[in-house]
Amino acid sequence: MNHKIISKFTRYLVIIIFLSWILIPVLWMVTLAFKSYPEWRVAYFFPKEPTFMNFILIFEPKQIVGMMGATALVDPVTLPFINSLLVVGASTVLSVIIGFFTAYGASRYNSPGPFSLFFTLLTRMLPPATFVTPIMVYYSNLKLLDSHLGLIMLYSAVTVTYGIWILKGFIDQVPIEWEQAALLEGASHLQVVFRVTLPIVKSGLVVSGLFIFLLNWAELLFALVLTNVQAVTLPVHISKYVGAVGQLYGPQAALGILSSLIPVIIGYIIQKHLVTAFTFGMVR
Amino acid sequence: MRNNPPKIITYLANLPLNLLLYATLIVPFALMIYLAFLAWNPAAGINWWEAPFTGVNNFIRALSDSRFIAALGRTAAFVVIVVTIEFFLGLALAYFMLEEFKGKKISLSLIIYPLMLPWVVVALIFYLFFQDYGPMNNVFLKLIIGESAQNIHWFLSSTTAFISLIIADVWQWTPFIFLVMYSGLSAVSKRLIEAAQVLGASSRTIFWRIQLPLIKPLVLIAVVLRALEAFKVFDIAYVMTGGGPGTSTETISLYIYRVAIEYHDISYAAALSLIVLIILVIIIRSFIWYSFERGVKR
């Protein structure tokens, strides 16, 4: 009995230590976002006079220059935020649609050759830095640099593999007899795909879509290389804020909060499927 | 139905993927191989198709480029260190989380949420965390060393800057290893464990001799995927240290990015990329062979 109490105590201790290790860095960013300028460089966590100033500053940054030691003019976060929503949203829809078709073919007819499947898996496993250079050259010849279309195409190409593998898992579970029954009833093959299989795997579409959204929302390197002014995304905006503007700790923290809101909500919805998603369905 | 697929369906199923892949990735991959053998710098004002060939000069240059070799070695060291730490932390945590206890559900959601944060935000969190007045100096160091702890300027020395990158990566990705191990361990059949208990095995023996060996394939997949992901490391180095001080925390991704974007040495960057790609493809291919195909042939 005594042994059991000790092991129970150890467990709680280990978990509490680990949880505080996870939470303290985030807590620091969250409280920093509500601190006013004089409190950015203090050692305590909770601001004496909480303020929303930092959140206003990231949308209207003109006042930062001069006042808070900033060395350059920063752009408001509005355009990058809208760009991120647009680019990530469109590329997610595209990869889920393409992923569904490919997954259907893979599940029912073994269709896409091993090359396409290996290639999509490969582009996900390789560091983006190793193939972003030729893409930049190619895009500059096609006049796709700094365009939403270029980013959308690239983002869906590098995440479509998750759409394929996650959806293949869902489609594999739809009994093939149901499709055969529909065929016997006189439905065409296309009708079977859209009227029988698609509605059943709806939750798979949602899971893969949300996961792909999560990944593309976080993507920095491609956007950093391929955008400049018009199509700048949120991660690029954050990296510029940290690199060029100096020690604007408060607004930086506010930006961090702004860009984690959507991922945290999505993550909460799909947490049961995260393992499957991250491992291309290899682990269930 | 499986025997006799209408041609149009298989064709339609593959068309979108192939269009997308050729339009965005396969053409650039081919272009990269071509670029790697050129002497082309866009600053010279000519297009890439007008640039002269240099044969394998770019590759020879890479082999004697000490900054490239150093970045490659540093990235490999980073991968080995973070994966090792994450493996043992994740394993320990999975072991402690396995049994039912009060507050388990909320602990689980809290533990895995660093996985969902964008990498840039993680970099930002730790950029703020390691500042002179941040919690690393004022909470953790004081807890470990005591009140006399001096403030460390984390990003000003090459060792501490590298350690700060490792800490940020471990913070974000230990939950991944944990999650895979945890879901593997909780899927191990209860009957098996009860049988072992009846035979008198201690819970430690059960863990090391039964549960862990059963999830070995899962652990292998998780470790390899994590290692490949860790090899990509760019965001935290770019945002937190900028590769500095000097080039002492420059990872391979950051170096290639700089050669291409800051030094405009496109053909050299393509050659560096190809070298890294070939190394990685060999590793990935042998992993796929080891974990999927070996069993089939046996």
Backbone angles phi, psi at B38, to 5 degrees: -105, 165
A263: left (phi over 0), alpha (psi -120 to 50) or beta: alpha
Is residue A217 situated within a structural domain?
yes
User: Is A239 an 8 Å CB contact of chain B?
Assistant: yes
Contacts 24+ apart (CB under 8 A), A4-12: A8/B101, A10/B96, A11/B96, A11/B99, A11/B101, A12/B101
Nearest-Cα residue of chain A relative to residue B223: A279
- CB neighbour class for B245 (10 Å; exposed up to 12, middle 13-18, buried from 19): middle
* Segments making up each domain of chain B, as ranges: 1-35, 68-266
* Total structural domains within chain A: 1
Average pLDDT over residues A40-69: 76
B118 touches chain A (CB under 8 A): yes
Measured distance CA(A221)–CA(B234) in Å, rounded: 8
Fold exhibited by the domain B68-266: MetI-like fold (1.10.3720)
DSSP state of A51: -
Residue A26 burial (CB count, 10 A): 21
CB A220 within 8 A of CB A175: no
Cβ contacts of A50 within 8 Å, gap of 6 or more: A34, A35
Q: Which domain holds residue A177?
A: 78-237
> Can you tell me the distance from the alpha carbon of A159 to that of B25, in angstroms, rounded to the nearest whole number?
12
Q: Report CA-CA distances (Å) from A3 to A7, A10, B203, B208, B211.
A: 6, 11, 12, 20, 22
Contact B127 A252 (CB under 8 A): yes
Measure CB to CB from residue A157 to each of B25, B134, B273 and give the nearest one: B25
- Cβ separation B232–A129 shorter than 8 A: yes
Query: Does the beta-carbon distance from B120 to A243 stay under 8 Å?
Result: no
Whether residue A98 and residue B20 make contact (CB cut-off 8 A), yes or no, is: yes
Q: Does A34 contact chain B (CB < 8 Å)?
A: no
Q: Would you tell me which residues 65-84 of chain A have a C-beta closer than 8 angstroms to some C-beta of chain B?
A: none
SS3 A70: strand
In a domain, A249, yes or no: no
| Domain assignment of residue A71, yes or no | no
Residues with Cβ within 8 Å of A162's Cβ and at least 6 positions away in sequence, in order, are: A95, A99, A124, A208, A211, A212, A215, A277, A280
Q: Which of A45, A102, A130 sits opposite B273 (nearest CB)?
A: A130
Q: Which residues of B touch A119 (CB under 8 A)?
A: 21, 25-26
Is the CB of residue B257 less than 8 Å from the CB of residue A225? yes
Establish if A145 belongs to a structural domain. yes
The per-residue pLDDT of chain B, averaged, comes to 85
Residue A52 falls within a domain, yes or no?
A: no
| Percentage of the residues of chain B whose pLDDT score is greater than 90 | 28
Contact B14 A116 (CB under 8 A): yes
pLDDT reading at B223 higher than 60: yes
Report yes or no on A281 lying in a domain.
Answer: no
Averaged pLDDT for residues B102-114: 86
According to the model, what pLDDT value does residue B252 have?
93
Q: Please tell me the distance in Å from B21's CA to the nearest CA on chain A.
A: 6
A196 at interface of B, judged by CB pairs closer than 8 A: no
* Residue A87, domain member (yes or no): yes
- Between A249 and B149, the more confident residue is A249
Q: What is the pTM of this model?
A: 0.89
Q: Which of B9, B110, B180 sits opposite A283 (nearest CB)?
A: B180
> In the prediction, which pLDDT does B285 show?
80
Chain A: nearest CA to B239, how far in angstroms? 6
Encoded tokens for A91: 């590329």
Cβ–Cβ of A25/B125 closer than 8 Å? yes
Please answer yes or no on whether A133 and B256 come within 8 Å at the CB atom.
yes
- Distance, CA of B191 to CA of B189 (rounded, Å): 5
Identify whether the C-beta of residue A221 lies closer than 8 Å to the C-beta of residue A4: no
Alpha-carbon distance A74 to nearest alpha carbon in chain B (angstroms): 17
Total Cβ atoms within 10 A of residue B260: 24
A260–chain B Cβ distance below 8 A for any pair: yes
∠B263-B266-B271 over CA atoms, to 5°?
115
Which of B126, B104, B146, B85 shows the shortest CA–CA distance to B235? B126
- Which of B29, B128, B273 lies nearest to residue A29, judging by beta carbons? B128
The CA distance from A10 to A14, in Å, is 6
- The answer to whether the Cβ–Cβ distance between A119 and B25 falls below 8 Å is yes
| Pairwise CB contact (< 8 Å): A8 & B101 | yes
Nearest-CA residue of chain A relative to B22?
Answer: A157
Q: Average pLDDT of A45-51?
A: 83
B3 — pLDDT class (breaks 50, 70, 90): very low
Q: What is the pLDDT of residues A107-161, one digit of tens each?
A: 887 766 667 777 888 888 889 998 899 999 999 888 888 899 999 999 999 999 8
In degrees, to the nearest 5, what angle opens at C-alpha A155 toward C-alphas B78 and B128? 45
- The encoded tokens of residue A6 equal 């000790």
The pairs formed by A5-12 with CB atoms below 8 angstroms and a separation of 24 or more are A8/B101, A10/B96, A11/B96, A11/B99, A11/B101, A12/B101
Instruction: Inform me whether the C-beta atom of residue B143 falls under 8 Å from chain A C-beta atoms.
Output: no
Chain A CB contacts of B5 below 8 Å? 108-109, 111
**What is the token pair recorded at B246?**
């000097």
pLDDT-derived band at A63 (thresholds 50, 70, 90) equals: low
pLDDT digits (tens, 9 = 90+) for B134-189: 777 777 777 777 776 677 788 888 888 999 999 999 999 999 999 888 888 888 87
- Which secondary-structure segment (H or E) carries A179? helix A176-184
Chain B residues 204-263 with CB within 8 Å of chain A: 218, 221-222, 225, 228, 231-232, 234-235, 238-239, 242, 252-254, 256-257, 260-261
B276 has a pLDDT exceeding 90: yes
**At A96, which CATH number?**
1.10.3720.10
| ipTM score over 0.95, yes or no | no
Q: How far is it, in rounded angstroms, from Cα A87 to Cα A217?
A: 9
Whether B170 and chain A come into contact, CB under 8 Å, resolves to no
| B253, pLDDT greater than 90 | yes
A&B contacts, CB < 8 Å: 291
CB A274 within 8 Å of CB B112: yes
